[in-house]
Amino acid sequence: MPRIPGTRNRLKDNPVTGAKRVLLAAPRGYCAGVDRAVVAVEKALEHYGAPVYVRKQIVHNVHVVTTLEKRGAIFVEEIDEVPEGSHVVFSAHGVSPAVVQGASDRGLLAIDATCPLVTKVHREAVRFARDDFEILLIGHEGHEEVEGTAGEAPEHITLVGSPDAVADIEVKDPDKVVWLSQTTLSVDETMETVRRLREKFPNLQDPPSDDICYATQNRQVAIKKVAQDADLVIVVGSANSSNSVRLVEVALEYGAKAAYRVDYAHEVKQEWLDGVQTVGVTSGASVPEVLVQELLDDLAGAGYGDIETVQTAEEDLVFSLPKELRRDTAGKKDTRALGGRHRG
């Protein structure tokens, strides 16, 4: 991702009591699924030329989408906006079988960039529906991932939007009920929702493995540790990024005196830094590292040049590209690495 031009030293270096510092959360930023999806669009443009169409935002980040648009990607809301016979990429959040069929009906050449961890949830939904379970899907109404998962077994799925929504949930057979979840939710809120569901339905079954993605969990664990020592936490991420929004909430819950989300460094307000000695910094799973570096540059100009990394986990998971893109334009097997959160 290209560097964003901006005015450096925009923030003033006002005095505070004590030494200024930044606590930089790690892990942060790009996860393997996001990296795979973004590279998929980049390589589709290399392979097939512009335009390449993408259903919905490939990932929930303004900078990523804008950058790919400049390279020739065209983002659409629905399949019927894509000219027949064109290449279309399905976003990292996944799509329902109806969308896949719609693309086929229009003769579109589809590339599925769904995160493999989301695909896992889809497969679980299909399997539990086949066994005639009622599925309680914990997630946010209208989110693309929820729509895609619900579309796999619409007759079997009931959406549970929050812990408070549990009171209104009714099932046909309390002995055949299982929960699944959107992968980008707050771990704590999801577990509280599950706790209340289990109180109401004691025989509630768990999915084979935790549906909250490793990256969401890792970023929340890291910001919990940072927040307890931070006067201010700044989360880099977009407003429609569920996991970025959750990071702000988690920071406040775990001790940060204040926390804000920004897309770009220039959105940081001078008054946020008034009296602040320690700034915590992190970024959502769809955020390229260049945006964090821009923020660190601005904070350094305001006297926050002492950076301490708070590392709570190591991430080395890598996902292979969609099968259509695993060879380069010369037909050779592509060795381009995926999954690095600091990919430039």
Annotated binding site for [4Fe-4S] cluster: 31, 115, 213
Binding-site annotation: residue ranges for dimethylallyl diphosphate: 60, 93, 143, 241-243, 286
What residues contact 291, with CB distance under 8 A and at least 6 apart? 1, 4, 63, 236, 263, 264, 265, 283
Q: How far is CA 43 from the centre of its chain?
A: 21
Would you say 291 and 265 are in contact if contact means Cβ atoms under 8 Å apart?
A: yes
How far CA 303 is from CA of 92, 265, 267, 292, in Å, comes to 38, 15, 18, 17
Binding-site annotation: residue ranges: 31, 60, 93, 115, 143, 183, 213, 241-243, 286
Binding-site annotation: residue ranges for isopentenyl diphosphate: 60, 93, 143, 241-243, 286
Would you say 98 and 154 are in contact if contact means Cβ atoms under 8 Å apart?
A: no
Would you say 222 and 282 are in contact if contact means Cβ atoms under 8 Å apart?
A: yes
| Number of other residues whose CB lies within 10 A of the CB of residue 114 | 22
Would you say 108 and 84 are in contact if contact means Cβ atoms under 8 Å apart?
A: yes
Where do the H-state alpha helices sit in 205-333?
Answer: 214-227, 242-253, 289-301
What residues contact 164, with CB distance under 8 A and at least 6 apart? none
Rounded Cα gap, residues 165 and 334, in angstroms: 47
| Structure letter (DSSP) for residue 205 | B
- Residues tagged active-site: 145
Rounded Cα gap, residues 74 and 68, in angstroms: 8
